[in-house]
Chains A and B, each alone.
Chain A
Amino acid sequence: MSEKQLVLVVDDDPDLVEAVSMKLESEKFRVNKAYDGVEAMEKIKEERPALVILDVMMPRKNGWVVCDEIKKSDQYKGIIVILLTAVADAVQTTSYTHHDGKTTLADDYIPKPIDLDKLMEIVRDHLGS
Protein backbone atom coordinates (compact mmCIF):
# COMPACT_ATOMS: atom_id res chain seq x y z
CA MET A 1 0.00 0.00 0.00
CA SER A 2 1.44 3.43 -0.92
CA GLU A 3 2.20 5.91 1.85
CA LYS A 4 -0.43 8.57 2.44
CA GLN A 5 0.58 11.92 0.99
CA LEU A 6 0.99 14.87 3.33
CA VAL A 7 -1.03 18.04 2.76
CA LEU A 8 -0.40 21.23 4.74
CA VAL A 9 -3.48 23.40 5.31
CA VAL A 10 -2.71 27.04 6.10
CA ASP A 11 -5.38 29.58 7.05
CA ASP A 12 -5.85 32.02 9.92
CA ASP A 13 -9.43 30.76 10.36
CA PRO A 14 -9.03 27.70 12.63
CA ASP A 15 -12.54 26.48 11.83
CA LEU A 16 -11.79 26.49 8.10
CA VAL A 17 -8.54 24.62 8.75
CA GLU A 18 -10.55 22.08 10.74
CA ALA A 19 -13.22 21.67 8.02
CA VAL A 20 -10.66 21.29 5.19
CA SER A 21 -8.53 18.91 7.29
CA MET A 22 -11.48 16.66 8.10
CA LYS A 23 -12.37 16.49 4.43
CA LEU A 24 -8.78 15.66 3.44
CA GLU A 25 -8.51 13.01 6.14
CA SER A 26 -11.74 11.44 4.91
CA GLU A 27 -10.02 11.25 1.50
CA LYS A 28 -7.10 9.38 3.13
CA PHE A 29 -4.54 12.18 3.04
CA ARG A 30 -2.25 12.93 5.96
CA VAL A 31 -2.79 16.49 7.17
CA ASN A 32 -0.64 19.04 8.91
CA LYS A 33 -2.01 22.44 9.95
CA ALA A 34 -0.65 25.97 10.26
CA TYR A 35 -2.41 29.20 11.16
CA ASP A 36 -0.17 31.87 9.69
CA GLY A 37 2.64 32.24 7.16
CA VAL A 38 5.52 31.98 9.63
CA GLU A 39 4.19 28.75 11.09
CA ALA A 40 3.54 27.46 7.56
CA MET A 41 7.21 27.87 6.60
CA GLU A 42 8.27 26.13 9.84
CA LYS A 43 5.98 23.18 9.09
CA ILE A 44 7.24 23.01 5.49
CA LYS A 45 10.83 22.77 6.73
CA GLU A 46 10.00 20.23 9.46
CA GLU A 47 8.04 17.80 7.35
CA ARG A 48 8.08 18.54 3.65
CA PRO A 49 4.45 18.27 2.46
CA ALA A 50 3.52 17.17 -1.05
CA LEU A 51 0.99 19.99 -1.35
CA VAL A 52 0.12 23.20 0.49
CA ILE A 53 -3.36 24.70 0.60
CA LEU A 54 -2.55 28.33 1.33
CA ASP A 55 -4.74 31.23 2.33
CA VAL A 56 -3.68 34.67 1.08
CA MET A 57 -4.66 37.10 3.84
CA MET A 58 -2.89 35.99 6.99
CA PRO A 59 -1.07 37.61 9.89
CA ARG A 60 2.73 37.82 10.21
CA LYS A 61 3.43 36.54 6.69
CA ASN A 62 0.80 36.52 3.97
CA GLY A 63 0.18 33.76 1.44
CA TRP A 64 1.84 35.61 -1.45
CA VAL A 65 5.12 35.78 0.45
CA VAL A 66 4.92 32.14 1.54
CA CYS A 67 4.19 31.10 -2.05
CA ASP A 68 7.19 33.12 -3.30
CA GLU A 69 9.47 31.57 -0.67
CA ILE A 70 8.39 28.06 -1.61
CA LYS A 71 8.61 28.52 -5.35
CA LYS A 72 11.92 30.42 -5.32
CA SER A 73 13.61 27.80 -3.16
CA ASP A 74 15.45 24.98 -4.95
CA GLN A 75 14.63 22.76 -2.01
CA TYR A 76 10.89 23.37 -1.89
CA LYS A 77 9.84 24.51 -5.36
CA GLY A 78 8.49 21.02 -6.13
CA ILE A 79 5.80 21.43 -3.46
CA ILE A 80 2.44 22.05 -5.08
CA VAL A 81 0.80 25.26 -3.88
CA ILE A 82 -2.93 25.90 -4.12
CA LEU A 83 -3.98 29.42 -3.16
CA LEU A 84 -7.29 30.12 -1.48
CA THR A 85 -8.38 33.49 -2.75
CA ALA A 86 -11.46 35.63 -3.16
CA VAL A 87 -12.46 35.46 -6.78
CA ALA A 88 -15.89 34.20 -7.63
CA ASP A 89 -19.08 35.19 -9.34
CA ALA A 90 -20.51 35.91 -5.92
CA VAL A 91 -17.85 38.49 -5.23
CA GLN A 92 -18.70 41.70 -6.99
CA THR A 93 -16.44 44.37 -5.58
CA THR A 94 -13.03 42.98 -6.37
CA SER A 95 -11.27 43.37 -9.68
CA TYR A 96 -9.19 40.26 -9.07
CA THR A 97 -9.40 37.99 -12.12
CA HIS A 98 -8.48 34.51 -13.18
CA HIS A 99 -5.57 35.93 -15.14
CA ASP A 100 -4.17 37.66 -12.07
CA GLY A 101 -4.43 34.40 -10.17
CA LYS A 102 -2.25 32.68 -12.72
CA THR A 103 0.48 35.31 -12.58
CA THR A 104 1.50 34.06 -9.13
CA LEU A 105 3.91 31.17 -8.86
CA ALA A 106 1.18 29.04 -7.31
CA ASP A 107 0.24 25.85 -9.14
CA ASP A 108 -3.46 26.46 -8.82
CA TYR A 109 -6.01 28.46 -6.93
CA ILE A 110 -9.52 28.02 -5.67
CA PRO A 111 -11.93 30.90 -5.19
CA LYS A 112 -13.32 31.78 -1.79
CA PRO A 113 -15.91 30.98 -0.60
CA ILE A 114 -14.46 27.58 -1.32
CA ASP A 115 -16.33 24.56 -2.52
CA LEU A 116 -14.80 21.71 -0.52
CA ASP A 117 -15.62 19.08 -3.16
CA LYS A 118 -13.99 21.22 -5.84
CA LEU A 119 -10.95 21.69 -3.61
CA MET A 120 -10.66 17.91 -3.14
CA GLU A 121 -10.88 17.46 -6.89
CA ILE A 122 -8.00 19.91 -7.40
CA VAL A 123 -5.92 18.23 -4.70
CA ARG A 124 -6.52 14.77 -6.21
CA ASP A 125 -5.67 16.05 -9.70
CA HIS A 126 -2.35 17.49 -8.56
CA LEU A 127 -1.37 14.54 -6.42
CA GLY A 128 -2.51 12.01 -8.96
CA SER A 129 -4.58 10.07 -6.44
Chain B
Amino acid sequence: MNAIKMNGIKLSSRHVLLHQSFTQASDSGPVHLYQQFSDDKINILFLSAAFFDKKKHIVCCVEPDPFDSVKELDRLKSPRQEHLDCIHSAGILSVYPHQFRLKSLGCLLYFFGVEKYKFYHLASSPSMVSFTIDYKDQEAIAASLASHIDLPRSHTPYRQEVNMDEFIKYFKKEPETAAAYVEEKIKTYAIQTRANAMLFRFDIRTDLLCEWGGHIQRLEDLGMRFHYASSFVSQEGLVRLFIALESEAPVSEKSKQHVFSDIFPKELIPYCHFMASSDIISFHGPHFGDRYGIAAHTFSAMRHRSVPVLLIGCVGSSITMVVPAGMSQKAKEALSDFFETP
Protein backbone atom coordinates (compact mmCIF):
# COMPACT_ATOMS: atom_id res chain seq x y z
CA MET B 1 0.00 0.00 0.00
CA ASN B 2 1.48 3.38 -1.04
CA ALA B 3 2.14 5.86 1.76
CA ILE B 4 -0.31 8.76 1.78
CA LYS B 5 1.16 12.24 1.58
CA MET B 6 0.36 14.34 4.65
CA ASN B 7 1.94 17.48 6.03
CA GLY B 8 1.93 17.08 9.74
CA ILE B 9 1.06 15.41 13.01
CA LYS B 10 -0.05 17.51 15.93
CA LEU B 11 -0.08 16.34 19.55
CA SER B 12 -1.82 17.80 22.56
CA SER B 13 -1.09 18.26 26.22
CA ARG B 14 -2.88 16.00 28.74
CA HIS B 15 -6.64 16.39 28.78
CA VAL B 16 -9.61 14.97 30.59
CA LEU B 17 -11.98 13.17 28.23
CA LEU B 18 -15.65 13.26 29.19
CA HIS B 19 -18.13 10.94 27.48
CA GLN B 20 -21.85 11.43 28.09
CA SER B 21 -24.51 9.15 26.69
CA PHE B 22 -28.28 9.54 26.61
CA THR B 23 -31.21 7.56 25.32
CA GLN B 24 -33.85 10.29 25.64
CA ALA B 25 -34.66 12.54 22.70
CA SER B 26 -34.18 15.81 24.59
CA ASP B 27 -31.00 17.74 23.94
CA SER B 28 -31.13 19.60 27.23
CA GLY B 29 -28.32 17.45 28.65
CA PRO B 30 -25.56 18.64 26.34
CA VAL B 31 -26.85 22.19 26.38
CA HIS B 32 -26.74 22.14 30.18
CA LEU B 33 -23.18 20.86 30.25
CA TYR B 34 -21.81 23.11 27.53
CA GLN B 35 -23.52 26.18 28.91
CA GLN B 36 -21.88 25.29 32.23
CA PHE B 37 -18.49 25.07 30.52
CA SER B 38 -19.09 28.43 28.88
CA ASP B 39 -20.14 30.05 32.18
CA ASP B 40 -17.04 28.63 33.86
CA LYS B 41 -14.83 29.86 30.98
CA ILE B 42 -13.69 26.33 30.26
CA ASN B 43 -12.33 25.74 26.78
CA ILE B 44 -13.24 22.56 24.91
CA LEU B 45 -10.37 21.28 22.81
CA PHE B 46 -12.19 18.49 21.03
CA LEU B 47 -15.85 17.67 20.79
CA SER B 48 -17.72 15.02 18.89
CA ALA B 49 -21.39 14.14 19.20
CA ALA B 50 -23.95 11.89 17.54
CA PHE B 51 -27.60 12.69 18.25
CA PHE B 52 -29.58 10.42 15.96
CA ASP B 53 -28.77 6.89 17.02
CA LYS B 54 -30.91 5.26 19.73
CA LYS B 55 -28.10 6.06 22.07
CA LYS B 56 -26.83 9.61 21.78
CA HIS B 57 -23.19 10.30 22.47
CA ILE B 58 -21.29 13.42 23.24
CA VAL B 59 -17.59 13.42 23.90
CA CYS B 60 -15.27 16.27 24.73
CA CYS B 61 -11.72 16.96 25.89
CA VAL B 62 -11.06 19.71 28.42
CA GLU B 63 -8.06 20.91 30.39
CA PRO B 64 -7.39 18.66 33.43
CA ASP B 65 -7.85 21.37 36.01
CA PRO B 66 -10.44 21.34 37.65
CA PHE B 67 -11.79 18.04 36.30
CA ASP B 68 -9.29 15.90 38.10
CA SER B 69 -11.63 16.40 41.02
CA VAL B 70 -14.50 13.90 41.32
CA LYS B 71 -16.55 16.57 43.08
CA GLU B 72 -16.26 18.79 40.05
CA LEU B 73 -17.45 15.99 37.78
CA ASP B 74 -20.49 15.38 39.99
CA ARG B 75 -21.45 19.03 39.63
CA LEU B 76 -21.64 18.62 35.87
CA LYS B 77 -24.14 15.80 35.90
CA SER B 78 -27.49 16.78 34.49
CA PRO B 79 -30.73 15.03 35.51
CA ARG B 80 -31.26 13.52 32.04
CA GLN B 81 -27.78 12.23 31.65
CA GLU B 82 -27.43 8.47 31.93
CA HIS B 83 -23.68 8.13 31.82
CA LEU B 84 -20.74 10.37 32.36
CA ASP B 85 -17.53 8.45 31.79
CA CYS B 86 -14.24 10.14 32.37
CA ILE B 87 -10.71 9.35 31.21
CA HIS B 88 -8.25 11.45 33.16
CA SER B 89 -5.27 11.10 30.92
CA ALA B 90 -6.26 11.53 27.29
CA GLY B 91 -4.46 13.14 24.40
CA ILE B 92 -5.47 14.32 20.95
CA LEU B 93 -3.45 13.29 17.91
CA SER B 94 -4.29 15.18 14.73
CA VAL B 95 -3.09 14.54 11.21
CA TYR B 96 -3.38 17.10 8.40
CA PRO B 97 -4.34 17.94 5.73
CA HIS B 98 -6.67 15.11 4.68
CA GLN B 99 -7.96 17.02 1.62
CA PHE B 100 -11.26 15.14 2.00
CA ARG B 101 -9.54 12.06 0.61
CA LEU B 102 -10.86 8.65 1.61
CA LYS B 103 -7.35 7.33 0.97
CA SER B 104 -6.15 9.52 3.86
CA LEU B 105 -8.96 8.49 6.21
CA GLY B 106 -8.67 4.82 5.24
CA CYS B 107 -4.90 4.91 5.65
CA LEU B 108 -5.24 6.24 9.21
CA LEU B 109 -7.77 3.54 10.14
CA TYR B 110 -5.54 0.92 8.54
CA PHE B 111 -2.62 2.22 10.61
CA PHE B 112 -4.48 1.97 13.93
CA GLY B 113 -5.72 -1.50 12.96
CA VAL B 114 -2.45 -2.98 11.78
CA GLU B 115 -0.36 -1.51 14.61
CA LYS B 116 -3.06 -2.39 17.16
CA TYR B 117 -3.06 1.04 18.73
CA LYS B 118 -6.22 2.03 20.52
CA PHE B 119 -8.16 5.20 19.86
CA TYR B 120 -11.33 6.23 21.65
CA HIS B 121 -12.92 8.54 19.11
CA LEU B 122 -12.17 10.32 15.90
CA ALA B 123 -13.62 13.45 14.34
CA SER B 124 -12.64 15.53 11.34
CA SER B 125 -12.42 19.20 10.46
CA PRO B 126 -12.06 20.51 6.90
CA SER B 127 -8.33 19.93 7.18
CA MET B 128 -7.60 17.52 10.04
CA VAL B 129 -8.53 14.11 11.34
CA SER B 130 -8.17 14.02 15.13
CA PHE B 131 -8.10 10.95 17.35
CA THR B 132 -8.56 10.84 21.11
CA ILE B 133 -6.03 8.40 22.56
CA ASP B 134 -4.29 7.56 25.82
CA TYR B 135 -1.96 10.43 26.60
CA LYS B 136 0.91 8.11 27.47
CA ASP B 137 0.77 6.54 23.98
CA GLN B 138 0.97 9.81 22.05
CA GLU B 139 4.69 9.80 21.29
CA ALA B 140 4.77 6.11 20.33
CA ILE B 141 1.74 6.44 18.04
CA ALA B 142 3.11 9.59 16.40
CA ALA B 143 6.49 7.93 15.77
CA SER B 144 4.89 4.81 14.34
CA LEU B 145 2.43 6.80 12.22
CA ALA B 146 5.28 8.85 10.79
CA SER B 147 6.64 5.66 9.21
CA HIS B 148 3.25 4.85 7.62
CA ILE B 149 2.58 8.19 5.93
CA ASP B 150 4.65 10.39 3.65
CA LEU B 151 5.57 13.48 5.70
CA PRO B 152 7.90 16.36 4.77
CA ARG B 153 11.56 15.48 5.38
CA SER B 154 11.92 18.01 8.17
CA HIS B 155 8.71 17.08 9.97
CA THR B 156 8.60 16.65 13.72
CA PRO B 157 5.31 16.16 15.57
CA TYR B 158 4.06 19.51 16.71
CA ARG B 159 2.89 20.16 20.24
CA GLN B 160 0.60 23.09 20.73
CA GLU B 161 2.92 25.00 23.02
CA VAL B 162 4.44 28.43 22.57
CA ASN B 163 8.01 29.38 23.36
CA MET B 164 7.44 32.90 24.67
CA ASP B 165 11.14 33.66 25.22
CA GLU B 166 11.98 33.02 21.61
CA PHE B 167 9.01 35.05 20.49
CA ILE B 168 9.71 38.01 22.74
CA LYS B 169 13.21 38.31 21.28
CA TYR B 170 11.56 39.43 18.05
CA PHE B 171 8.66 41.20 19.56
CA LYS B 172 9.58 43.36 22.51
CA LYS B 173 6.14 44.31 23.72
CA GLU B 174 3.23 42.11 24.64
CA PRO B 175 2.99 38.94 22.55
CA GLU B 176 -0.01 38.51 20.32
CA THR B 177 -1.37 35.53 22.20
CA ALA B 178 -2.07 37.90 25.08
CA ALA B 179 -4.80 39.36 22.91
CA ALA B 180 -8.34 38.95 24.18
CA TYR B 181 -11.09 39.11 21.61
CA VAL B 182 -13.90 41.38 22.65
CA GLU B 183 -16.71 40.92 20.19
CA GLU B 184 -20.41 41.62 20.24
CA LYS B 185 -20.84 38.58 18.05
CA ILE B 186 -18.23 35.86 17.62
CA LYS B 187 -16.50 36.32 14.29
CA THR B 188 -16.24 33.49 11.76
CA TYR B 189 -13.97 33.41 8.73
CA ALA B 190 -16.26 31.42 6.54
CA ILE B 191 -19.30 29.17 6.64
CA GLN B 192 -19.27 26.42 4.06
CA THR B 193 -22.19 24.23 3.18
CA ARG B 194 -22.45 21.12 1.09
CA ALA B 195 -25.75 19.60 0.11
CA ASN B 196 -26.81 16.01 -0.39
CA ALA B 197 -24.06 14.04 1.20
CA MET B 198 -24.73 10.39 1.98
CA LEU B 199 -24.33 9.63 5.64
CA PHE B 200 -23.24 6.07 6.35
CA ARG B 201 -22.48 4.19 9.52
CA PHE B 202 -20.02 1.32 9.55
CA ASP B 203 -19.94 -1.04 12.53
CA ILE B 204 -16.36 -2.18 12.72
CA ARG B 205 -14.83 -4.90 14.86
CA THR B 206 -11.53 -3.56 16.12
CA ASP B 207 -9.68 -6.68 14.93
CA LEU B 208 -10.90 -5.90 11.39
CA LEU B 209 -10.00 -2.20 11.46
CA CYS B 210 -7.06 -2.56 9.06
CA GLU B 211 -9.21 -4.49 6.59
CA TRP B 212 -11.91 -1.80 6.73
CA GLY B 213 -9.26 0.88 6.33
CA GLY B 214 -8.22 -0.74 3.04
CA HIS B 215 -11.83 -0.91 1.78
CA ILE B 216 -12.48 2.72 2.72
CA GLN B 217 -9.39 3.76 0.78
CA ARG B 218 -10.75 2.01 -2.31
CA LEU B 219 -13.95 4.08 -2.20
CA GLU B 220 -11.88 6.99 -3.50
CA ASP B 221 -11.31 5.04 -6.72
CA LEU B 222 -15.09 5.21 -7.26
CA GLY B 223 -14.94 9.01 -7.27
CA MET B 224 -16.00 9.43 -3.66
CA ARG B 225 -14.67 11.73 -0.99
CA PHE B 226 -15.68 12.44 2.57
CA HIS B 227 -16.83 15.68 4.14
CA TYR B 228 -17.05 14.60 7.73
CA ALA B 229 -16.10 11.54 9.73
CA SER B 230 -16.50 10.63 13.37
CA SER B 231 -16.54 7.51 15.49
CA PHE B 232 -17.64 6.23 18.88
CA VAL B 233 -17.17 2.87 20.51
CA SER B 234 -20.40 0.93 21.13
CA GLN B 235 -21.16 -1.10 24.26
CA GLU B 236 -20.28 -4.22 22.28
CA GLY B 237 -16.82 -2.81 21.59
CA LEU B 238 -17.55 -2.02 17.93
CA VAL B 239 -16.16 1.15 16.37
CA ARG B 240 -19.24 2.96 15.04
CA LEU B 241 -17.77 4.99 12.23
CA PHE B 242 -19.91 7.70 10.63
CA ILE B 243 -18.84 9.06 7.25
CA ALA B 244 -20.60 11.72 5.20
CA LEU B 245 -19.72 10.85 1.62
CA GLU B 246 -20.03 12.72 -1.61
CA SER B 247 -19.98 10.92 -4.92
CA GLU B 248 -18.88 12.41 -8.25
CA ALA B 249 -21.55 10.35 -9.98
CA PRO B 250 -25.15 10.85 -8.82
CA VAL B 251 -26.43 7.99 -6.67
CA SER B 252 -30.18 7.35 -6.67
CA GLU B 253 -32.02 7.20 -3.35
CA LYS B 254 -32.76 3.51 -3.96
CA SER B 255 -29.19 2.47 -4.57
CA LYS B 256 -27.59 4.30 -1.62
CA GLN B 257 -27.92 1.26 0.64
CA HIS B 258 -26.15 -0.86 -1.96
CA VAL B 259 -23.43 1.55 -2.94
CA PHE B 260 -20.73 -0.64 -1.38
CA SER B 261 -21.85 -3.98 -2.80
CA ASP B 262 -19.22 -3.99 -5.55
CA ILE B 263 -16.30 -3.00 -3.32
CA PHE B 264 -16.78 -4.52 0.11
CA PRO B 265 -16.71 -8.27 0.71
CA LYS B 266 -20.19 -9.77 1.12
CA GLU B 267 -19.65 -10.57 4.78
CA LEU B 268 -19.05 -6.89 5.60
CA ILE B 269 -22.14 -5.51 3.81
CA PRO B 270 -24.48 -6.09 6.80
CA TYR B 271 -22.25 -3.74 8.77
CA CYS B 272 -22.66 -0.83 6.30
CA HIS B 273 -25.76 1.25 7.00
CA PHE B 274 -27.06 4.13 4.94
CA MET B 275 -28.37 6.52 7.61
CA ALA B 276 -29.67 9.60 5.83
CA SER B 277 -29.23 12.06 3.02
CA SER B 278 -27.71 15.03 4.73
CA ASP B 279 -26.17 18.45 4.41
CA ILE B 280 -22.83 19.46 5.87
CA ILE B 281 -22.16 22.84 7.37
CA SER B 282 -18.76 23.83 8.63
CA PHE B 283 -17.41 27.08 9.98
CA HIS B 284 -14.18 28.32 11.33
CA GLY B 285 -13.14 31.33 13.32
CA PRO B 286 -10.20 33.03 15.00
CA HIS B 287 -8.65 30.91 17.74
CA PHE B 288 -11.81 28.78 18.03
CA GLY B 289 -9.63 26.02 19.43
CA ASP B 290 -8.42 28.24 22.28
CA ARG B 291 -11.65 29.96 23.34
CA TYR B 292 -14.50 28.95 25.59
CA GLY B 293 -18.18 29.22 24.71
CA ILE B 294 -18.04 28.37 21.00
CA ALA B 295 -19.75 24.98 21.38
CA ALA B 296 -22.42 26.40 23.71
CA HIS B 297 -23.15 29.16 21.18
CA THR B 298 -23.45 26.61 18.40
CA PHE B 299 -25.83 24.37 20.36
CA SER B 300 -27.91 27.41 21.33
CA ALA B 301 -28.04 28.64 17.74
CA MET B 302 -29.31 25.33 16.44
CA ARG B 303 -31.85 24.92 19.23
CA HIS B 304 -33.08 28.48 18.76
CA ARG B 305 -34.09 27.76 15.15
CA SER B 306 -35.00 24.10 15.80
CA VAL B 307 -32.35 22.72 13.47
CA PRO B 308 -31.83 19.03 14.25
CA VAL B 309 -28.14 18.20 14.38
CA LEU B 310 -27.24 14.61 13.51
CA LEU B 311 -23.51 14.85 14.10
CA ILE B 312 -21.24 17.63 15.29
CA GLY B 313 -17.49 17.84 15.64
CA CYS B 314 -15.31 20.64 17.03
CA VAL B 315 -11.77 19.94 15.88
CA GLY B 316 -8.94 22.48 15.79
CA SER B 317 -10.52 25.82 15.05
CA SER B 318 -13.46 24.43 13.06
CA ILE B 319 -16.94 23.19 13.79
CA THR B 320 -18.64 20.79 11.39
CA MET B 321 -22.27 19.74 11.62
CA VAL B 322 -24.23 17.13 9.71
CA VAL B 323 -27.90 18.11 9.44
CA PRO B 324 -30.80 16.49 7.55
CA ALA B 325 -30.84 17.15 3.79
CA GLY B 326 -32.32 20.53 2.95
CA MET B 327 -31.52 22.05 6.35
CA SER B 328 -28.18 23.72 5.60
CA GLN B 329 -29.68 27.10 4.74
CA LYS B 330 -31.68 27.13 7.98
CA ALA B 331 -28.56 26.10 9.89
CA LYS B 332 -26.60 28.90 8.27
CA GLU B 333 -29.29 31.41 9.26
CA ALA B 334 -29.25 30.03 12.79
CA LEU B 335 -25.49 30.54 12.99
CA SER B 336 -25.88 34.09 11.69
CA ASP B 337 -28.07 34.85 14.73
CA PHE B 338 -25.22 34.02 17.09
CA PHE B 339 -22.06 34.50 15.05
CA GLU B 340 -20.77 37.23 12.78
CA THR B 341 -20.71 35.66 9.35
CA PRO B 342 -18.81 36.99 6.34
Where the two chains meet, the residues of A that have a C-beta atom closer than 8 Å to any C-beta of B are: 12-19, 22-23, 33-36, 38-39, 42, 56-57, 59-60, 62, 64-65, 85-87, 90-96, 100, 112-117
B107-115, B164-172, B197-205, B236-244: which lies at the A interface? Answer: B164-172
Q: Assess the B182–A113 pair: CB atoms within 8 A.
A: no
Q: Is B156 part of the contact surface with A, judged by Cβ < 8 Å?
A: yes
Q: Assess the A96–B170 pair: CB atoms within 8 A.
A: no
B63-71, B125-133, B214-222, B302-310: which lies at the A interface? Answer: B125-133
Q: Assess the B166–A62 pair: CB atoms within 8 A.
A: yes
Picked from A35, A91, A115, the residue with its CB within 8 Å of the CB of B96 is A35
Chain A residues closer than 8 Å to B7, beta-carbon distance = 14, 33-35, 39
Q: Assess the A113–B190 pair: CB atoms within 8 A.
A: no
Q: A56-B176, A113-B286, A116-B342 are in contact. Are A39 and B190 (CB under 8 A)?
A: no
Q: A57-B167, A92-B180, A116-B342 are in contact. Are A15 and B173 (CB under 8 A)?
A: no
Q: Is B178 part of the contact surface with A, judged by Cβ < 8 Å?
A: yes
Q: Is B267 part of the contact surface with A, judged by Cβ < 8 Å?
A: no
Q: A33-B7, A90-B182, A95-B174 are in contact. Are A114 and B128 (CB under 8 A)?
A: no
- The residue on A at minimum CB distance from B99 is A18
State A16–B128 Cα separation when bound (angstroms). 11
| Closest A-B pairs by Cβ, 10 of them | A113-B286, A86-B176, A64-B170, A14-B127, A14-B96, A91-B179, A18-B127, A86-B179, A15-B318, A95-B173
Chain A residues closer than 8 Å to B174, beta-carbon distance = 93-96
Instruction: Knowing that A62-B170, A116-B189 touch, tell me 9 more A-B residue pairs with CB under 8 angstroms.
Output: A13-B289, A14-B94, A14-B127, A15-B317, A16-B317, A35-B158, A57-B162, A60-B158, A91-B182
Q: List 26 A-B contacts (CB under 8 A).
A: A14-B7, A14-B316, A15-B128, A16-B189, A23-B190, A33-B97, A35-B7, A36-B8, A42-B152, A56-B171, A57-B162, A57-B167, A57-B175, A59-B159, A62-B167, A64-B170, A90-B183, A90-B187, A91-B179, A92-B182, A93-B179, A94-B173, A94-B178, A112-B176, A114-B286, A116-B190
Picked from A17, A36, A59, the residue with its CB within 8 Å of the CB of B127 is A17
Chain A residues closer than 8 Å to B284, beta-carbon distance = 15-16, 19
B8 CB to closest chain A CB (Å) equals 5
Q: How many A-B residue pairs have CB under 8 A?
A: 119
Q: Assess the B285–A113 pair: CB atoms within 8 A.
A: yes
Chain A residues closer than 8 Å to B2, beta-carbon distance = none
Chain B residues closer than 8 Å to A86, beta-carbon distance = 176-177, 179
B81 CB to closest chain A CB (Å) equals 30
Q: Assess the B316–A90 pair: CB atoms within 8 A.
A: no
Q: Which of A18, A85, A95, A114 has the most CB of B within 10 A?
A: A18
- The residue on B at minimum CB distance from A56 is B176
Q: Is B26 part of the contact surface with A, judged by Cβ < 8 Å?
A: no
Q: Assess the B97–A57 pair: CB atoms within 8 A.
A: no
State A64–B167 Cα separation when bound (angstroms). 9
Q: Assess the B126–A18 pair: CB atoms within 8 A.
A: yes
Picked from B126, B167, B190, B286, the residue with its CB within 8 Å of the CB of A112 is B286
State A27–B125 Cα separation when bound (angstroms). 23
State A115–B167 Cα separation when bound (angstroms). 25
Q: A14-B97, A16-B189, A62-B167 are in contact. Are A117 and B342 (CB under 8 A)?
A: yes
